[in-house]
Chains A and B, each alone.
Chain A
Amino acid sequence: MSATAESVQDRKAALKGLGTSRKRVEDARFTQGKGNYVDDIKLPDMLFGDFVRSQYAHARVKSIDTTAAMELPGVVAVLTAKELEPLNLHWMPTLAGDKQMVLADGKVLFQGQEVAFVIAEDRYIAADAVDLVKVEYEELPVLVDPFKAELPDAPVLREDIADQKEGAHGARRHPNHIFTWEQGDKGATEAIINEAEVVAEEMVYYHRTHPCPMETCGSVASMDKVNGKLTLWGTFQAPHVVRTVASLLSGIAEHNIRVVSPDIGGGFGNKVGVYPGYVCSIVASIVTGKPVKWVEDRMENLSATAFARDYWMKGKIAATSEGKILGLWCHTTADHGAFDACADPTKYPAGFMNICTGSYDIPTAYLAVDGIYTNKAPGGVAYRCSFRVTEAAYFIERMIEVLAIKLNMDAAELRAKNFIRKDQFPYQSALGWEYDSGDYHTAWDKALEAVGYKKLREEQAQQVEDFKAGKTRKLMGIGLCHFTEIVGAGPVKNCDILGMGMFDSCEIRIHPTGSALARLGTISQGQGHATTFAQILATEIGISADEITIEEGDTDTAPYGLGTYGSRSTPVAGAATAMAGRKIRAKAQMIAAYLLEVHDNDIEWEVDRFVVKGAPERFKTMKEIAYASYNQAIPGVEPGLEAVSYYDPPNMTYPFGAYVCVMDIDVDTGVSDIRQFYALDDCGTRINPMIIEGQVHGGLTEALAIALGQEIAYDELGNIKTGTLMDFFIPTSWETPNYQTDFTETPSPHHPIGAKGVGESPNVGGVPAFSNAINDAFRAFGLTHTHMPHDHWRVWKTANDLGLHG
């Protein structure tokens, strides 16, 4: 049978392109134990590095004695700040324009801080030697409460910059103050709040937590002194940026550095930053001439690399007595720990916190964020989040609930009354963003109908009556959330990291027999890029996704890109993929026209081929074109079929969603049971529904963890209280519910295929939904707001404080 007999439909299906729930190509190696993660790398003569860490949160380092450690057989070297100083590597720049000690330089500023780096022949000897390094400390007063940072008796943490009145983000008013960032119209907002009929106020705390991927951070550095080449494998969400930073720090020319992100066991923002372990493994390899591996253990991961959140958000929201919102005011105290190591675009020291007007048409708003140093670990990373949008969404979705209580109004109705309407897009927000597209009312109505919202409220009211009558000891909470995300950073004119514009890239080679290789500047950490990017390309160039190999993460082969975080892979690299595909198609059209002996304009694209207009039996498939491009001399056309695209997005994308969580809460034990969780996501064009659904399940479970128990907590001496998985809550299969997923599809108008990104939406929207459910359960008993995490004890205490235990 000739190819023409196949229907267009069949040929389209064979491509496994956009919209197909294609099975993942990554899974063969992962299910057979053949993944290649950083700790799987084993090189001849490889050494192991391990850190001596501070047990104090704030102390002066009086002396470090490495003699005993060096005498232990198998120990090769011990690095301290003294050894790093001549190389100018005892400090390193952070992504947020601050600097951070690589190894303690005179003092330590948080528990778990890196003090010395021991290099030994195996990990056991390295651990033994760590115990033999003698560090003499002089304890200093500890600052853990950011609200006490500027009191007269507060200890000065960062003596290195105590006198600097200007930081990377403007004026500093105190040695423990990092920056003040203001957005919106302060005067106008305060005037509205002073005059409004109704004003609701609340302090909304989004506690400190940690991304905690299954694989901790690590690196293997190998300096080849013969060829002058450094190879660095590591858990890098942004390998190209790491190469540039490594070059700037080490002085090794960038072409002599190869950075490789192998398989990554989850990132969630934990693996965006540059850590002392990476730097020390590089130095150690240069010093010893041998490959050096550093892999942190779980305790080190939780206590030293990249916390997230820790935002104290004081809010005021003004409305008419009918519930029309007039203005929003927010002041945030941001606890950054000992160094400002946030991974935000340079111009946004508080990330995209100014998306805190959420899904609502709020005409006037003001936001101020004060960054503060404390004796805690550095970080402030975007944990499954696009640069503080998680904090912003939690803030506004709590404030809406608080306002609903003040207005004595149903919270679903209040939201619907204030949503940005479909006809208002593109929508200019009061805090400076242009929302590209949305249809919030449709999503909201669909969600409320799907869960039977009215009936749920009736049931809840009845349960409150029954509780009061002593017929039950359980209460029901209905947690609502309508979130708007802002992802896909970003336009280069606004967004850069360390001066590098946040574009991304794709390079495609079509092979003579019509299969293809595409390389991108991003790096998958479980998102399934090798599967989905091939699908984007399949639809663009008419080659089956099964015949397209996707590669990422090797800076010697992949085009430069800014990496994977902030849900930017699909919006930016996905766009680059489509654009590069279109370049391939444009050249293919010239070749096809030549082969068919017609003018370029006389043929048109159809699924996997160019067809002569009006003569469907005359066509050239992409495979035929690919072969001809290499094997036939075509006048005026270079041989080969390759393309590259560097894509600078014109705007962010704005995925959104409507979530409803129904919980049953046992008042006497504080145990919350999730009865139902409905999640409607609108991520624009859907590339692979199976993967989208998987992302939503995973993001919701991380949200569940954060809302219901997960935290990084410190005592007053700066001791970390949640440094192991015994104390740091990660839900198991036992406490995780089944989720109900749904969608609407509102394509992004500026993205080449209309896709918006989805990985982070469920975490952004999930946290408020879970938290609102807990808060809502106690609304009938006078509760306005209680802080996360809502673990059993805190829920029990809320009930107790409300007098519900009789």
Chain B
Amino acid sequence: MSKQTINLNVNGQSVSAEAEPRELLIHVLREQLKITGPHIGCETTHCGACTVEMDGMSVKACTIFAIQAQGKEITTIEGLGNPDKLHVLQEKFREHHGLQCGYCTPGMITRAHRLLEENPNPTEEEVRFGISGNLCRCTGYQNIVKSVMAAAEELNTTESAS
């Protein structure tokens, strides 16, 4: 199958990749662009380990062809924070023990990030509903929910103070 050039913006950087039309975004991210934060847990859109943001929407990168990302802006866990300045969600997940094996964590945090962008002040029920497309086998979600709620609170406090 012939390859096509895909130009996209990943975490603020313009990049390009050569991919067959059938290649999934998650494989292009992980294997060509060396962005291994998003993981593969099912390849059938159920688990959410591969969650990234595409033009301001959460998408499961295992169910998007790379070619569909042509000209789009993609944000992955690598784009949310860096070792010198972590995103509040990254801090709160650590503080509230919102992760164990870490495999679902990049997708979960990326999803939570979009959720809080859309609903900065969610109830616990809204958080539980909002992250229900992302599976976790380790934590039982209780501390994930706690982490997201704590992040929301801190983000709101910071914003109202500024």
- Interface residues of chain A, those whose CB is within 8 Å of chain B, are 23-24, 26-35, 37, 39-40, 42, 122-124, 212-216, 263-266, 268, 295, 297-298, 525-528, 690-691, 693-694, 697-702, 724-726, 730, 732-734, 736, 738-739
Contact = CB atoms under 8 A, between A and B. Distances in A.
B99 A37 contact: no
B128 A215 contact: no
Contact of B86 (A24, A31, A726): A31
A702 B145 CA distance: 17
Task: Specify which of B41, B47, B102, B132 lies most central, judged by the most chain A CB atoms within 10 Å of its CB.
Answer: B102
Interface string B71-86: 0000011100111001
Contact of A697 (B44, B103, B140): B140
Contacts of A726: 44, 46
Contacts of B109: 31
A295 B40 CA distance: 10
A28 B94 contact: yes
A23 B95 contact: yes
Given A697-B142, A736-B140, A30 B39 contact: no
B135 A730 contact: yes
B144 interface: yes
A264 B101 contact: yes
A274 to B, nearest CB: 21
18 contacts: A27-B94, A30-B99, A31-B102, A33-B36, A39-B30, A212-B137, A214-B138, A215-B39, A215-B101, A263-B102, A266-B101, A266-B103, A525-B101, A732-B133, A732-B135, A733-B127, A734-B128, A738-B142
A88 to B, nearest CB: 34
B94 to A, nearest CB: 4
A303 B108 CA distance: 26
Contacts of B94: 23-24, 27-28, 31
Closest 7 A-B residue pairs measured CB to CB? A33-B37, A30-B102, A526-B101, A265-B103, A697-B140, A701-B140, A725-B46
B58 interface: no
A733 B132 contact: yes
Contacts of B77: 31-33
Nearest to A525: B101
A751 B76 CA distance: 45
Nearest to B87: A31
Q: Give the interface centre of B42, B106, B137 by most chain A CB atoms within 10 Å.
A: B137
A31 B141 contact: no
A733 B143 contact: no
B27 A214 contact: no
A289 to B, nearest CB: 22
Contact of A698 (B78, B82, B140): B140
Contacts of A697: 139-143
A26 B104 CA distance: 14
Contacts of A28: 83, 94
B131 interface: yes
B102 A733 contact: no
B8 interface: no
Interface in B1-53: 20, 22-23, 27, 30-31, 34-44, 46-47, 49
Nearest to B104: A214
Given A30-B102, A701-B140, 16 more contacts: A27-B102, A32-B90, A34-B37, A39-B39, A39-B40, A40-B36, A215-B101, A264-B101, A268-B137, A297-B43, A298-B46, A698-B139, A725-B42, A725-B46, A733-B132, A739-B140
Given A35-B103, A214-B101, A694 B139 contact: yes
Contact of B144 (A214, A528, A699, A733): A733
Q: What is the size category of the interface that chain B forms with chain A?
A: 35 or more
Contacts of A35: 102-103, 105
Candidate in A213, A697, A702 with the most chain B CB atoms within 10 angstroms: A697
B142 A265 contact: no
A214 B103 contact: yes
Q: Is the interface of B mostly helix, strand, loop or mixed?
A: loop
Contact of B129 (A39, A734, A736): A734
Interface of B: 20, 22-23, 27, 30-31, 34-44, 46-47, 49, 76-78, 81-83, 86, 90, 93-95, 97, 99-106, 109, 127-129, 131-145
A700 B109 CA distance: 23
A700 B86 CA distance: 31
B57 to A, nearest CB: 19
A527 B100 contact: yes
A46 to B, nearest CB: 10
What DSSP secondary structure best describes chain A's contact surface? Answer: loop
Contact of A526 (B23, B38, B47, B138): B138
Contacts of A694: 97, 100, 138-139, 143
B135 A213 contact: no
Contacts of B38: 33
A123 B27 contact: yes
B97 A702 contact: no
Given A263-B102, A733-B131, A733-B132, A698 B37 contact: no
Contact of A215 (B30, B35, B41, B132): B41
A658 to B, nearest CB: 19
Given A31-B109, A39-B40, A265 B101 contact: yes
Contact of A725 (B47, B93, B102, B132): B47
B44 A42 contact: no
Contact of B90 (A31, A525, A732): A31
B138 A298 contact: no
Nearest to A23: B94
Nearest to B79: A33
A298 B45 CA distance: 11
A266 B100 CA distance: 8
A263 B138 CA distance: 14
A391 to B, nearest CB: 20
Contact of A724 (B46, B99, B102, B140): B46
Nearest to A214: B103
B86 A214 contact: no
Contacts of B131: 733
Given A37-B103, A124-B23, A214 B141 contact: no
Contact of B138 (A29, A37, A266, A732): A266
A32 B83 contact: yes
A34 B86 CA distance: 13
A263 B99 CA distance: 14
A694 B47 CA distance: 20
B113 to A, nearest CB: 12
A698 B90 contact: no
A33 B137 contact: no
Contacts of B102: 26-27, 29-31, 35, 263, 265, 526
Contacts of A31: 77, 86, 90, 93-94, 99, 102, 105, 109
Contacts of B101: 213-215, 263-266, 525-526
B89 to A, nearest CB: 8
Contacts of B129: 733-734
A698 B143 CA distance: 10
A428 B140 CA distance: 36
Contacts of A23: 94-95, 97
B128 A724 contact: no
Contacts of A264: 101
A33 B78 contact: yes
Contacts of B31: 42, 122
A124 B26 CA distance: 13
A268 B38 CA distance: 22
A698 B132 contact: no
A694 B137 CA distance: 12
Contacts of A700: 140
